């Protein structure tokens, strides 16, 4: 114990020396930048970028349509490799500057702007290359939406450039606004961390046995939950904002701080403005996360856990795929496995059945593997047979012809199906981002509005859900602003009640929209509009210093008495 105590004291003294040196030494910032560039140079000398270059294929296994990547591709990948590396090493230098500037917010703005702009440039370059690669290769035939990609890039840039903007807002705020912002952010961060930790612990306890049985390492589990952060944030942000709002405003009401602030001549809106700004910022963060990353991370979680429980190979994207063409009558597809990488691997165990206008089988193809060529839209089936039917019965069976490479092959032309169309039938709208939802709707436009209602509802829901952060603050803030202890408890209870009402209406109307009972756009926005309008009305009453309406259950008590009293009188008459 003495040894551990002395080691701890020595470590604390060492950290104290390092902290003081970082705070006082004029060479700390330039030294950190110099160290970052030295690390970059050493990595370049040892060929760090080679791991990110396209692999050279085996000349004996080249597909017929394979072409070498364009020369600019290698340059972009080279730059992206070192830009990604500088995010790590440069991030350490940025934190050194932040430590030196703390707690002066004005001195933090410039390094934060530089870091945010660099991250934005890196993100735009990385997303642009990913989009180019998906369009250039497009091995699945997915209908890619350019406007959805542009919106995604804009949201990502806004997300990365928002920290210096918020620091600038805080630096230009008055003392009272800064105090309100600090008072609100402290419980907000506490609630976010607490709920995120609780979510991870509960999920980990639920799935720990599956992780252990499949030998998943601790680092992989940590990375798994790190990728789940966007989904967790979207889930816990509304309740965290509501609790932080009622706590801060309730405490300020109890200690008469709000009365003092209003006594300076400021209106209630000016006093609560920092809280509303924080709520809008939280909603923007949620919209950026819920646009693509949150639903996709949730889908990856379900797929990983399902694969672990069913002992499915992680190299497979879909297993047991069934698809029936809705446009061309009588063609059904059965696919055993779809690999994650359709460039280097093929779909396995393929069955295609073609029916005639009378509903009887005309042809069928059975193959061990299949590939789809994007250039001409041809399906190539390998190592299989073609079955000809007559009056619904087998007439002849023919093996595929050899193509000169040692494999029997059959090319099917004129088919509109693509791998993306085949897989889209098994996709769930719960786990699709906005770009994927748009691609699905465009690829399956022949399904009709009723079958696509679920996907339309989730498309609009991706934009509506994050604004719960603002709605909960709109109705919680006026309820938490009270001038008596008795009213404080009632205000908090009403805020919690309205929160659960919002959750109930949100799920109810979302399911109505998914079932095409009501228009999807109206379904996802109606609960937010109703509770938001209620919040505006409550705020107006509170700003005019009027009493808020109370929820009374007197009518329920009178109804019970009305129903109970006659029955009791009747029983007494019968007894007499």
For 177-203, the pLDDT digits (tens) are: 999 999 999 999 999 999 999 998 888
Across 61-69, average pLDDT: 56
Predicted pLDDT of residue 133 = 77
- The confidence band for 69, taking pLDDT boundaries of 50, 70 and 90, is low
Token pair in block for residue 280: 């809008």
Predicted pLDDT of residue 576 = 44
Predicted pLDDT of residue 371 = 83
Instruction: Compute CA 282 distance to the chain's CA centroid, rounded to the nearest angstrom.
Output: 14
Counts of helices then strands in the chain (DSSP H, E): 18, 8
Mean confidence (pLDDT) of the chain: 82
Q: What does the domain layout of the chain look like in residue ranges?
A: 27-56+69-293, 316-425, 434-564
145 upstream amide cis, omega within 30 of 0? no
For the ranges 82-91, 305-314, 359-368, 403-412, the lowest mean pLDDT is seen at 305-314
505-512 contacts: CB < 8 A, separation 24 or more? Answer: 505/530, 505/531, 506/465, 506/468, 510/457, 510/461
- The confidence band for 4, taking pLDDT boundaries of 50, 70 and 90, is confident
Q: Are 423 and 338 in contact (CB under 8 A)?
A: yes
Query: Is the pLDDT at 387 greater than 80, yes or no?
Result: yes
The C-alpha atoms of residue 441 and residue 381 are separated, in whole angstroms, by 28
Q: Which residue has the higher pLDDT, 32 or 320?
A: 32
Query: Is the pLDDT at 499 greater than 80, yes or no?
Result: yes
Q: Are 258 and 168 in contact (CB under 8 A)?
A: no
Predicted pLDDT of residue 138 = 72
Neighbours of 437 (CB within 10 A): 26
DSSP state of 57: P
Predicted pLDDT of residue 241 = 94
What is the SS3 string spanning 97-136?
A: HHHHHCCCHHHHHHHHHHHHHHHHHHHHHHHHHHHHHHHH
402-421 pLDDT, tens digit per residue, is 766 667 888 888 787 888 77
The C-alpha atoms of residue 498 and residue 487 are separated, in whole angstroms, by 16
- The confidence band for 573, taking pLDDT boundaries of 50, 70 and 90, is very low
The C-alpha atoms of residue 337 and residue 319 are separated, in whole angstroms, by 4
Q: How far apart, in Å, do the first and last CA atoms of the chain sit?
A: 84
The alpha carbon dihedral of 455, 143, 351, 412 has a sign of positive
DSSP string, 9-30: HHHHHHHHHHHHHHHH-TTHHH
pTM: 0.82
Contacts of residue 153, defined as CB under 8 A and 6 or more positions apart, other chains included, come to 123, 124, 127, 128
Query: Is the pLDDT at 466 greater than 70, yes or no?
Result: yes
| Nearest of 490, 494, 479, 484 to residue 535 by alpha carbon | 479
């Amino acid at each position: 114990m003495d040894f551990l105590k002395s080691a701890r004291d020595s470590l604390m003294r060492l950290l104290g020396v390092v902290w003081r040196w970082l705070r006082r030494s004029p060479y700390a910032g330039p030294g950190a930048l110099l160290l970052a560039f030295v690390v970059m140079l050493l990595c370049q000398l040892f060929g760090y970028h080679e791991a990110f270059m396209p692999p050279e294929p085996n000349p004996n296994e080249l597909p017929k349509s394979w072409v070498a990547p364009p020369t600019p591709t290698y340059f972009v990948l080279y730059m992206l490799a070192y830009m990604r590396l500088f995010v790590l090493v440069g991030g350490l230098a940025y934190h050194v500057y932040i430590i030196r500037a703390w707690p002066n917010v004005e001195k933090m703005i410039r390094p934060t702007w530089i870091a945010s702009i660099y991250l934005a440039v890196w993100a735009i370059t990385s997303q642009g290359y990913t989009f180019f690669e998906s369009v250039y290769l497009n091995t699945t035939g997915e209908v890619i939406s350019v406007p959805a990609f542009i919106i995604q890039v804009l949201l990502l840039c806004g997300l990365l450039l928002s920290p210096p903007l918020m620091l600038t807002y805080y630096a230009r705020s008055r003392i009272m606004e800064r105090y309100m912002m600090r008072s609100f952010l402290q419980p907000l961060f506490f609630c976010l961390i607490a709920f995120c930790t609780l979510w991870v612990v509960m999920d980990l306890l639920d799935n720990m046995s599956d992780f252990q049985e499949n030998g998943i390492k601790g680092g992989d589990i940590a990375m798994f939950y790190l990728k789940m952060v966007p989904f967790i944030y979207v889930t816990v942000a509304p309740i965290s904002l509501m609790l932080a709002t009622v706590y801060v405003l309730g405490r300020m009401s109890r200690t008469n701080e709000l009365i003092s602030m209003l006594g300076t001549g400021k209106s209630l809106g000016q006093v609560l403005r920092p809280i509303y700004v924080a709520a809008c910022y939280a909603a923007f963060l949620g919209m950026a996360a819920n646009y693509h990353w949150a639903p996709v991370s949730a889908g990856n979680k379900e797929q990983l856990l399902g694969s672990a429980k069913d002992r499915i190979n992680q190299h497979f994207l879909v297993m047991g795929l069934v698809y029936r063409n809705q446009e061309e009558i009588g063609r059904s597809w059965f696919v055993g496995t779809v690999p994650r990488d359709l460039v280097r691997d093929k779909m396995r165990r393929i069955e295609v059945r073609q029916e005639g206008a009378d509903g009887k089988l005309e042809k069928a193809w059975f193959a061990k593997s299949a590939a789809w060529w994007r250039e001409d839209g041809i399906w190539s089936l390998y190592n299989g047979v073609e079955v000809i039917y007559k009056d619904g019965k087998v007439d002849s069976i023919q093996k595929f012809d050899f193509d000169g490479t040692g494999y029997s092959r059959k090319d099917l032309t004129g088919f509109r199906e693509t791998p993306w169309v085949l897989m889209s039938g098994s996709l769930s709208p719960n786990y699709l981002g906005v770009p994927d939802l748009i691609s699905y709707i465009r690829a399956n436009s022949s399904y009709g509005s009723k079958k696509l209602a679920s996907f339309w509802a989730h498309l609009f829901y991706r934009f509506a859900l994050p604004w719960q952060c603002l709605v909960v603050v709109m109705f919680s803030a006026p309820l938490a602003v009270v001038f008596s202890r008795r009213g404080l408890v009632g205000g908090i209870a009403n805020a919690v009640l309205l929160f659960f009402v919002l959750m109930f209406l949100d799920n109810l109307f979302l399911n109505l929209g998914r079932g095409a009972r009501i228009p999807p756009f109206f379904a996802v926005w109606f609960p937010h509009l109703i509770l938001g309008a209620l919040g505006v009305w409550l705020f107006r009453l509170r700003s005019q210093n009027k009493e808020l309406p109370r929820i009374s259950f007197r009518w329920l008590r009178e109804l019970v008495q009305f129903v109970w009293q006659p029955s009791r009188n009747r029983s007494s008459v019968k007894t007499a």
